[in-house]
Amino acid sequence: MNLRNFFLKNIGIRQTIIKNTFWLVSAEGIARISSLFLVIYIARILGANDYGKFTFAFSFASIIGIFSNMGVAEVLTRELSRNKENEKKIDEVLGLQVFLSISALAGAVMGSFLITDEFEIRKVLWILSFFVVSNSFLGIIFSFVRARQKMEYEAGIKFFQTFLNLVVVMAVIFSIPSIINISYGYLASNLIILVVALLYFNFYFQRLKIKFKKESFEILRISWPLSLGLMLGWVYISMNSVMLGYFGLITENGWYSAASRIAIVAIVPASLIVRSFYPALSKFFVSSKQNFQRTWDYLIELMILLAIPTVMGGLVLADRIIHAFYGREFAPSVFAFQLFAILTGISFINYPYSAILVVSGRQKNNFLIIVAGAFLNIILAVLLLPVFGFYGAIISIIISSLIILLVTVFLTRRLFLVVPFNWNLVKVSLISFFSSIIMLIVINYTFIYGLNIILVLLVGAGIYGLLLFIFYRLIFPDRMLVLSQWKNF
């Protein structure tokens, strides 16, 4: 099998999942890292206060983005992966997307008058709401190619999107830096990408039309429980950022967002792996319970292998990471980042369990669990903010997310959807823990610790990967890491 075929064609289950994971991780990784460095530069130019205003507006726009999609993209991926005939309904989905987008934008305008009296923030909020809504249309295209398990097309669009966004926003920062102009930069680059992507899809996949039918709302009836996705704490991060802005804690919101932005990038590998597994899980749930359980076992195993070093590394290296990226002005973000590292680990482990509820058609259960967690988060944040300051907003998310994880695992077990845990996963957890301990000991030697933080992280990742290889060869001699047994699919 030559490399071209391996990375551009679907040949087998193992190869297809690896190929899709490669493209998604490459595209999303580059996009998120590029976005992170762009945000860091914006924070350095604007300072904590103006950056707090920008992220306050961005967080509100992100919540508006939930209502502009309402889980339509997620349901579309599931339904198209199960039955190719459903591709004929994509025109109706586009019509529904137009309706949802107009409604969400109207909500953004009305909501902006309730959460802030400052016209500058309100204007930024409107612009960024347009930006977020335009991404919902890209989500429809991505759902189509994900269902066909052709993630290389999604990667191509995201590579172009990342490049153009970086060029446009950096040009704005260098020439006319302000939170309003930077927001226009984000919107302009995204609209260009959207037009190009829609034209490409129209000519190379299928003709696009916008149809408004009463039946279109049947999709919404199925999809709305997926509107909050699988992201748990990351939905709550935006909610609490809005709360901080609403209570006038603008500078604190800048510190809070500085830490959360890095943590969100850290979760990219996990979210992309789940996305790569999603079509296969949807297919196997219907066709093969044995392959369904086996695929899920590999997914939860990968999440454990990612969660433990991420949490431990985040706790130990938080000071170096924040000061290297943002400077001393953002020193209060160090402890915030350590708290977000814990939240990241909880989210990693929760992903596979939430995915099971969605794949099995129990998205309403998943939605209700997340909504209950959201209310708990808000109550806890209100109680903890006066005691712990803006750190209380993060502690409230950790508590809520941990409770949600426990409830989700309990429900998964009670419904007999999968065997949620086994002895192999205990061994995997121990392997990951001891590998992480050794990794941290090594990178804390003076000659490594004194390197640039990016090099330290890369060295740490390399050491961790090597240790995993050694432990897996000793404890799981029949496998090469997690993937080798996929040949039995």
- Domain that includes residue 357, residue range: 231-278+294-421
Q: Is 213 in the same domain as 248?
A: no
Q: Is 7 in the same domain as 137?
A: yes
Is 466 a domain residue?
A: no
Distance between start and end Cα atoms, the chain: 18
What domain count does the chain have?
A: 2
Q: Is 103 in the same domain as 154?
A: yes
* Rounded Cα distance, 8 and 237, in Å: 36
Dump pLDDT digits (tens) for 320-378: 889 888 887 888 999 999 999 999 999 888 888 888 887 877 777 877 888 888 889 99
Q: Is 373 in the same domain as 411?
A: yes
pLDDT score recorded for residue 343: 92
Is 452 a domain residue?
A: no
* Spatial contact of 157 and 193, defined as CB atoms under 8 Å apart: yes
Return the minimum-mean-pLDDT range out of 147-151, 180-184, 200-204: 147-151
Element (H, E) at 485: none
Is 211 a domain residue?
A: yes
Residue pointed to by tokens 């709305």: 224
User: Among residues 394, 421, 448, which one ends one of the domains?
Assistant: 421
User: Among residues 404, 421, 438, which one ends one of the domains?
Assistant: 421
- pLDDT band for 54, please (50, 70, 90 cuts): confident
* Rounded Cα distance, 293 and 417, in Å: 9
Is 487 a domain residue?
A: no
Q: Is 71 left (phi over 0), alpha (psi -120 to 50) or beta?
A: left
pLDDT at 2 over 70: no
CA dist list (Å): 40 to 55, 130, 174, 178: 12, 23, 14, 15
Q: Is 344 in the same domain as 383?
A: yes
Q: Ranked by mean pLDDT, which of 81-95, 123-137, 355-369 comes out on top?
A: 123-137
Q: Is 308 in the same domain as 380?
A: yes
Dump pLDDT digits (tens) for 185-236: 988 988 898 888 888 777 777 777 777 766 666 676 666 666 555 555 567 8
Sign of CA dihedral 359, 365, 371, 376: negative
Dump pLDDT digits (tens) for 361-420: 777 787 788 888 888 999 999 999 988 988 999 999 999 999 989 998 888 888 777 777
pTM for the model: 0.74
| Contacts made by residues 179-183, CB under 8 angstroms, sequence distance 24+ | 179/46, 179/50, 179/53, 179/54, 179/57, 179/120, 179/124, 180/120, 180/123, 180/124, 180/127, 182/42, 182/54, 183/54, 183/57, 183/124, 183/127, 183/128, 183/131
Nearest to 339 by CA among 277, 414, 416, 396: 396
| Contacts made by residues 38-43, CB under 8 angstroms, sequence distance 24+ | 38/165, 38/166, 38/169, 38/170, 39/261, 40/258, 40/261, 40/325, 40/326, 41/170, 41/173, 42/169, 42/173, 42/182, 43/254, 43/258, 43/326, 43/330
Is 455 a domain residue?
A: no
Q: Is 243 in the same domain as 180?
A: no
pLDDT at 431 over 50: yes
Q: Is 216 in the same domain as 71?
A: yes
Is 469 a domain residue?
A: no
User: What is the DSSP track for 128-197?
Assistant: HHHHHHHHHHHHHHHHHHHHTT-HHHHHHHHHHHHHHHHHHHHHHHHHS--HHHHHHHHHHHHHHHHHHH
User: Among residues 397, 421, 445, which one ends one of the domains?
Assistant: 421
Is 95 a domain residue?
A: yes
Fill in the amino acid letter for 5.
N
Is 335 a domain residue?
A: yes
Q: Is 196 in the same domain as 339?
A: no
What value does the CA radius of gyration of the chain take, rounded to a whole number of Å? 22
Q: Is 85 in the same domain as 149?
A: yes
Q: Is 207 in the same domain as 84?
A: yes
Q: Is 194 in the same domain as 336?
A: no
Question: Burial code of 26-39, b = ≥16 C-beta within 10 A, e = fewer?
Answer: bbbeebbebbbebb
pLDDT score recorded for residue 403: 92
pLDDT at 184 over 50: yes
